[in-house]
Amino acid sequence: MGYVSNAARMFFGGPATKSVRALIWANVAVFVLQMVGEAAGIRSLVATFALIPWRVTHELALWQFASYMFLHGGVFHILFNMITLYMFGNDLERTWGTPRFLKYYFATGIGAGLCSWLAGPSSMAAIIGASGAIYGILLAYGLMYPDRIVYLNFLLPIKVKWMVLIMGAVAFLSSLTGGTPGVAHVAHLGGMVVGYIMLRGRRWTERLRAFSSNRRRAALKRQFEVYYGDVRRKIEEDKKKGPTIH
């Protein structure tokens, strides 16, 4: 994929930012270590650091919610994730700044893991990959730059908002039907959902707060009207009785 901005033609997201570069190096380093370990017949890295819901539920292996993001299932898996991170993460970090970008990246990745765990807390399947965070990055990019043009497979031009919508729909339907075996579709969808809540949740909170405030004001108004109506009726009744003689 490549994209064209409204202002200037760009390719692969521009120069790598600090956090994106560090995340790519970290993922590549862990992947190399993983491949070396598997070649030597050592699988403890995956068993220890992949997200295995059963271990989280019964052994409280809570670190797996973060560590699983740095393991990958093959060259194409890590290649897709890192290219996507490079293409779309750089603009987000430049816009948000490093602290907010890293907070968002890990929150969507961990949130995606939580969604996978909730979907099957006793599952023994090992979940690996940064795809939950990557889908969160795609969601954020689609919300911030909806009309930028993305070239799928470097051929098909499509606006980012439509690409994100299609990918979200595919992840949703696949999470219901099971989709492709070996692909954590719930994690993909979870990363998007968590990202949307983080980016749009404040609006929901403000609307809820405004709704609650309006309801309180309406209730107070009704109480005042009832009280004021009783007072006025009492005054009118006293007027009809005439003067009181002491």
Buried b (16+ CB within 10 A) or exposed e, 185-218: bbbbbbbbbbbbebeeeeeeeeeeeeeeeeeeee
Contacts of 99 (CB under 8 A, 6+ apart): none
The answer to whether residues 219 and 211 touch, using CB atoms and an 8 Å cutoff, is no
> How far apart (Å, rounded) are the C-alpha atoms in residues 159 and 180?
26
* Catalytic residue list contains 131: yes
**Catalytic option among 188, 212, 213, 246:** 188
**Catalytic option among 19, 67, 116, 131:** 131
Other beta carbons less than 10 A from residue 84's beta carbon: 19
Nearest-5° Cα angle at 27, 77 to 194: 75
* Catalytic residue list contains 5: no
Contacts of 97 (CB under 8 A, 6+ apart): none
Contacts of 241 (CB under 8 A, 6+ apart): none
Catalytic machinery residues: 131, 188
